[in-house]
């Protein structure tokens, strides 16, 4: 497998998995489960870092820290931001794959 094939595979997996993880994060936020919020945000943070999604990573980090601190308003604000950023990240990745 060459570098381009590997990059395409990583992007494909990221775009397949992350929407499900975002949905799960939204569910635990709505349930006000701050421990699960922090745990899921940590996973998203790592996934974003693996593909160079640094803005997405920053929002996930903020959600993780706010979840650990029980700051639900900050969690919700950053959740909205991460959803918007994912749309941009997805578009950039799809453009790369063309």
Residue spans of the domains in the chain: they are 3-97
Instruction: Determine the pLDDT at residue 83.
Output: 97
25-68: per-residue pLDDT in tens? 999 999 999 999 999 999 999 999 999 999 999 999 999 999 99
Under the banding of pLDDT at 50, 70 and 90, the label for residue 1 is confident
Instruction: Determine the pLDDT at residue 58.
Output: 98
Domain at 3-97, CATH from 1.20.120.160, 1.10.3720.10, 3.50.50.60, 2.40.110.10: 1.20.120.160
**19 in Cβ contact with 89 (< 8 Å):** no
> Is residue 32 classed as helix, strand or coil in its secondary structure?
coil
Instruction: Determine the pLDDT at residue 9.
Output: 92
How far is it, in rounded angstroms, from Cα 4 to Cα 30? 39
For all residues of the chain together, what is the average pLDDT? 95
């Amino acid at each position: 497998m060459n570098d381009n094939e590997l990059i395409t595979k990583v992007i494909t997996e990221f775009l397949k998995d992350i929407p499900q993880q975002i949905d799960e994060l939204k569910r635990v936020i709505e349930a006000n489960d701050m421990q699960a919020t922090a745990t899921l945000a940590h996973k998203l943070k790592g996934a974003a870092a693996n593909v160079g999604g640094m803005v997405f990573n920053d929002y996930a980090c903020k959600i993780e820290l706010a979840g650990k601190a029980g700051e639900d308003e900050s969690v919700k604000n950053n959740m909205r931001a991460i959803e918007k950023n994912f749309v941009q990240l997805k578009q950039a990745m799809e453009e790369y794959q063309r």
